[in-house]
Amino acid sequence: MLAKRIIPCLDIKDGRTVKGVNFIDLRDAGDPVELAEIYSKEGADELVFLDISATEQKRKTLAELVYRVAEKVNIPFTVGGGISSIEDVDVLLQNGADKVSINSSAVKNPQLINDLAAKFGSQCIVVAIDAKQIDGEWIVHLVGGKVPTERKLFEWAKEVEERGAGEILFTSMDHDGTKDGFANEALAKLSTELNIPIIASGGAGKVHHFTDTFEKGKADAALAASVFHFKEIGIGDLKNELRDKGIPVRL
């Protein structure tokens, strides 16, 4: 079995790391460059950097900040926010990103997934999907979770895979920041129906939530933010506990 990955997420707004609950009530969580370096040294498997207001503010991801973060880490580094073209991806890769994450732009222009996968390879393309349950259906949302669409999670995820995405980063908006655990039922369905890795996001609060999302949710990786930013869970401690429970991780 492939090792499960632990991925801290740096949500960036105005050059600072922030964290909220259910995508709102953001509070400052520190300097992204400093946090990235700490997580790299603590044993994180990857980092995700999301410029969460780039799409809403109609601007590009902060390439200079990406460069500064990349200088401090020696682990794979995924960047998202405001990416809508091959040129955008070129700039980020040149500034040190290993992978890119697209979300709103992929829903608005699904051909973008095909184009980026053809140009850079599927392994470089992560499609982020933010969804929440409405009348029993998982509905995809855009622009940092502010705009509901007519897309349904599982149908969109399948199309994303068919168009060439290498991974899916699924965030349950209902679970985001609640620290009540991941959306394991939805994650398990995604993992069963798709052949590409699924990154679980939204809801980490305790060590057993990570265990559950790997065992019950069948996730390939687990992404979290505030539990790491505010030192509620240490990455090394987390990995040791996961290993003790028989879950394969890189130490």
pLDDT per residue as tens digits for the range 128-178: 999 999 999 999 999 777 889 999 999 999 999 999 999 999 999 999 878
Burial state string for 155-191 with b = 16 or more CB within 10 A and e = fewer than 16: ebbeebbebbbbbbbbbbbbbbbebebbbbebbbbbb
Read off the pLDDT band of 6 (50, 70, 90): very high
- Output the pLDDT for position 13: 74
pLDDT per residue as tens digits for the range 235-244: 999 999 999 9
Tell me the catalytic residues: 11, 130
Half-sphere exposure (CA, 13 Å, Cβ side) for 23? 18
Distance CA 48, CA 87 (A): 20
- Output the pLDDT for position 19: 52
CATH entry 3.40.50.1970 includes domain 5-244: no
pLDDT for 21 beyond 80? no
